[in-house]
Structure 1
Amino acid sequence: MARERDARRAPTRRDYVKCGGALVAGGLLAGCTGDGAEPNATQTDETTESEAATRTDEPADGSYSVTMAPMGTVEFETVPESIFTRLTHLAGMAFALGRGDDVNAMHAPDYYDALWNQFTPRLDGVSLDWSGLYSSWNPGKENLYELDSDVHLADPASLFALDGWNMDDVAEIRENVGPWFGNKFSDRNAEPPAEWAEKYQYYGLWEMFEKVAGAFREEARYEALAEVRSELLATVDENLPPAEERPTVVMAGMSDVESPYVYNVDTPGFLTAHVRPFGAVDVLGEDIDSGAQVDMETMLEADPDVILTLGGMHPDTDMAEIRRGFEEHSVGRELSAVRNGRVYAQGARYQGPILNLFQTEMTAKQLYPDRFGEWPTYEEGPYPEIAESERLFDRERVAGVVRGEF
């Protein structure tokens, strides 16, 4: 399926993929109107299945609709083909549904192409190529016309929050190019812009995935992967040690060993979907904000038992050098995680379903090796090969879903 569309085509309202309802007068609402979510609803716990299945209504003419905040009800006349994304949790959902190569834009495509392809070698027959796509962190409206995407897997509220975007711009793209269908502020249950607050709702990663699957008529794929996840979480629950035996943990971005960025592991939102099920003790406390840059003295005061290094599995990251940087630092070498050899590589917080399965498995082994099996010492290369008897989920089963063979 081609990534490039005819950029010379005059922008018109799509007659094959569209939002239900007309533009709201004056652009007061940039989402599609309809059965919108309840305002300010809280996120369902990531460790439970969605209590209410996504409702996909299908009129006699074959069109169908899916409801997700903040857009409301979005109507599709046929399954979208070309897919715009901004953040990788949504690109990862397209990938999980076998549509990864239909993505035409994403944030830092070359970086995330390299990172995601550290995991694909463990899924037979599954490949991915995001290299060279349009980098969409702050997209221009004219770029969206040129891409001419059937659907924008992006949160319109997050676009509105960018400089240069307003309600009319968001509505214009929805009407003239293709609908918005995404949710960003569920990443940490953050406050959306005030103009969107009444329409906003927070979702767990897999709740959102269920809705995205509905938009592509891939409910069976979602169900198959959700069953794998449910079994994985059941294994985790059955083997967790008592609360008093759980380690203190911090996630860290280690671009500079002198002043790492540190992140909570127990806060709501899908950024912690792979660590929250383990009941690990968050080490930051109330005095340090998640995402803050700290010095080694502050790290030593917190003194985590385990350091999870974000992006540590990216091929451009040298885990051996990061560990050496800690060990050679006059303060860093005193950290319990460093002294005990518990500085581990991780992937990405903006994870899709497939990365979530792998990262849940790796976190289990990193935090509780005596319960879930040892995590191999990792320095470089793809996700380590784990003996089949030590795996926490079935790779071939997951690969078959992505390939469409299930």
Structure 2
Amino acid sequence: MDQTDIVSRRTLLGTGAATAAGLLAGCSGRSSGGTQTDESATDAAEPTATATPEQHSVTMAPVGTVEFDEVPERWVPFTGDYADMGVALGQADGLAGIGVPARYGSHLYEELPGVSVDTDAMTALYSEGTDKETFYSIDADVHVIDPNFAINRLGWSQGDVDELADNVGPFVGNTGFTHVYDWHDDYRYYSMYETLEVLAELFDERARYEAFAAYHDEILADVESRLPEARPDIALLYPAGVPPEGFYPYLVGEGTTSKQWRDLGVGDALAADGITDAQAGGGTIDFETLLDIDPDALAIRLQGEVSETYFDEEIRTPLEEHDVASDLTAVQNDRVIYAGLTYQGPIIHLFQLEAAAQGLYPEEFGGEQLFDRERVADIVTGEFDG
């Protein structure tokens, strides 16, 4: 599909099923296997959008180029990575809904002066399913959702996507938190900061993007310069129950969900042992399997706001008291750490990078704030030079 195909705000995918299918599924010609793995913000892709007094357009696979009459104000993502990106770009007031509010780490904004998001006031898009009427009621200017995610993960049809794009607002999004879905094989991925750049064009917030990108690179350069030569092989896990008796395995791999682990140079003990990612159809693994692998550290992912007390009582202590888990090297060496949330944009990533660095390398980073909360807040609120 030619990158210059233009679709207007209220008529995206509205020119017939064949055209719509081409827009969604026919973009592999420009991907050429172009998976993006470079997370450096200063190595982002070439600009993907243009804006003139007569039009405002943005380009992103798989949909292509979408034209708006004006910069969108009311917007809705499904996953918290896109929500966090929009907030980073100063768009909190227009955030009208989220897939599952409890999976969005907005509680982390409490440390940022003047930054807040009221998830209680948002519409939850998922409640034993996700129906179109919810999206009609929100009436967003743009759905910041990969349409193929809606079809393959939410159970929608192509017709559902077409209908909402035509009658409510277009879809602009690319699933990038993981790279394991086979339905994403024929169009490109975007790194966190490449995605943020696209959203910056969508919301006409180039200055905020550049401020975040510069600060991200500054922090990452400092962290990388201080990493020890000896780095652990970790097992990234999600408990199948609490207290845990088994875990869903997640590979470090590519995708924004594991960016902090790649930033910290860890090895992936599960991948090295041939374990399949849970999102790619892998089942749970038990303590006996973990003992055979015996990672240097266990990074336990949980959703929502998790206190240190909760993590100690429900995760660490049960592992220390378990007949098999207590023999794990990571348990014996007190290297069971909280791995944070699945969905992260540029703000949540900074918090999760800091926590991961403190947990894995306490001698170097323990107790240290790796980024300036006030500086991040100033970017979000627009109180910065740029």
Fold in common (TM above 0.5): yes
* Post-superposition offset of 1:166: 2.3
Partner of 1:235: 222
Partner of 1:249: 234
Is the counterpart of residue 174 in structure 1 residue 165 in structure 2?
A: yes
Partner of 1:64: 56
Equivalent residue in structure 1 for 2:79, among 58, 77, 87 = 87
Partner of 2:348: 355
Q: CA 1:312/1:68 → structure 2, altered by over 3 Å: closer, same or farther? A: closer
Q: Could you tell me whether the CA contact under 8 Å between 1:17 and 1:75 is conserved in 2?
A: yes
Q: Could you tell me whether the CA contact under 8 Å between 2:42 and 2:214 is conserved in 1?
A: no
Q: Distance in 2 between matches of 1:164 and 1:51?
A: 32
Is the counterpart of residue 275 in structure 1 residue 268 in structure 2?
A: no
Residue by residue over 1:11-40, the C-alpha shift from the partner in whole angstroms, topping out at 9 and shown as x without a partner, is xxxx99446686255342354999984343
Q: Could you tell me whether the CA contact under 8 Å between 1:36 and 1:69 is conserved in 2?
A: no
* Post-superposition offset of 1:203: 0.8
Q: Could you tell me whether the CA contact under 8 Å between 1:308 and 1:346 is conserved in 2?
A: yes
Partner of 2:122: 133
- For residue 251 of structure 1, give the secondary structure of its aligned residue in structure 2: strand
Q: Could you tell me whether the CA contact under 8 Å between 2:39 and 2:191 is conserved in 1?
A: yes
Equivalent residue in structure 2 for 1:52, among 40, 45, 65 = 45
- Counterpart of 1:89, as a letter, is D
Identity across matched positions, percent = 37
Equivalent residue in structure 2 for 1:189, among 166, 179, 192 = 179
Q: Could you tell me whether the CA contact under 8 Å between 2:177 and 2:256 is conserved in 1?
A: yes
Q: Could you tell me whether the CA contact under 8 Å between 2:288 and 2:324 is conserved in 1?
A: yes
* Post-superposition offset of 1:288: 1.3
* Post-superposition offset of 1:295: 0.8
* Post-superposition offset of 1:167: 2.2
Q: Could you tell me whether the CA contact under 8 Å between 2:112 and 2:377 is conserved in 1?
A: yes
Partner of 2:67: 75
Q: Could you tell me whether the CA contact under 8 Å between 1:19 and 1:32 is conserved in 2?
A: no
- Counterpart of 2:199, as a letter, is V
Partner of 1:215: 202
CA RMSD across the alignment: 2.6
Q: Distance in 2 between matches of 1:293 and 1:23?
A: 44
Q: Distance in 2 between matches of 1:105 and 1:231?
A: 32
Residue by residue over 1:312-331, the C-alpha shift from the partner in whole angstroms, topping out at 9 and shown as x without a partner, is 77247811211110011011
Q: Distance in 2 between matches of 1:197 and 1:343?
A: 34
Q: Could you tell me whether the CA contact under 8 Å between 1:259 and 1:294 is conserved in 2?
A: yes
Q: Distance in 1 between matches of 2:14 and 2:99?
A: 30
Q: In structure 2, list runs of 5 or more residues that go unmatched.
A: 1-6
- For residue 273 of structure 1, give the secondary structure of its aligned residue in structure 2: helix
Q: Distance in 1 between matches of 2:228 and 2:204?
A: 40
Partner of 1:326: 319
- For residue 131 of structure 1, give the secondary structure of its aligned residue in structure 2: helix
- For residue 98 of structure 1, give the secondary structure of its aligned residue in structure 2: coil
Partner of 2:3: none
Q: Distance in 1 between matches of 2:298 and 2:344?
A: 19
- Counterpart of 2:341, as a letter, is A
Equivalent residue in structure 2 for 1:297, among 288, 311, 315 = 288
Q: CA 1:170/1:16 → structure 2, altered by over 3 Å: closer, same or farther? A: closer
* Post-superposition offset of 1:48: 5.5
- For residue 54 of structure 1, give the secondary structure of its aligned residue in structure 2: coil
- For residue 157 of structure 1, give the secondary structure of its aligned residue in structure 2: helix
Partner of 1:336: 329
Residue by residue over 1:123-153, the C-alpha shift from the partner in whole angstroms, topping out at 9 and shown as x without a partner, is 1111111125333244212222121111101
- Counterpart of 2:95, as a letter, is V
- For residue 222 of structure 2, give the secondary structure of its aligned residue in structure 1: helix
Q: Could you tell me whether the CA contact under 8 Å between 1:64 and 1:75 is conserved in 2?
A: yes
Q: Could you tell me whether the CA contact under 8 Å between 1:275 and 1:363 is conserved in 2?
A: yes
Partner of 1:8: none
Q: Distance in 2 between matches of 1:31 and 1:307?
A: 39
Structure having the larger proportion of residues in helix: 2
TM-score calculated relative to the size of structure 1: 0.82
Q: Could you tell me whether the CA contact under 8 Å between 1:97 and 1:222 is conserved in 2?
A: yes
Q: Could you tell me whether the CA contact under 8 Å between 2:41 and 2:193 is conserved in 1?
A: no
- For residue 290 of structure 2, give the secondary structure of its aligned residue in structure 1: helix
Q: Distance in 2 between matches of 1:42 and 1:312?
A: 27
- Counterpart of 1:272, as a letter, is S
Residue by residue over 1:284-337, the C-alpha shift from the partner in whole angstroms, topping out at 9 and shown as x without a partner, is 124311224111111111212222221277247811211110011011111122
Residue by residue over 1:65-96, the C-alpha shift from the partner in whole angstroms, topping out at 9 and shown as x without a partner, is 11111110111221212111111111111121
Q: In structure 1, list runs of 5 or more residues that go unmatched.
A: 1-14, 376-389
Partner of 1:3: none
Q: Distance in 2 between matches of 1:70 and 1:353?
A: 22
* Post-superposition offset of 1:212: 1.0
- Counterpart of 1:82, as a letter, is R
Is the counterpart of residue 123 in structure 1 residue 108 in structure 2?
A: no
- For residue 22 of structure 2, give the secondary structure of its aligned residue in structure 1: coil
Partner of 1:306: 297
- For residue 324 of structure 1, give the secondary structure of its aligned residue in structure 2: helix
Q: Distance in 2 between matches of 1:60 and 1:100?
A: 25
TM-score calculated relative to the size of structure 2: 0.86
- Counterpart of 2:377, as a letter, is A
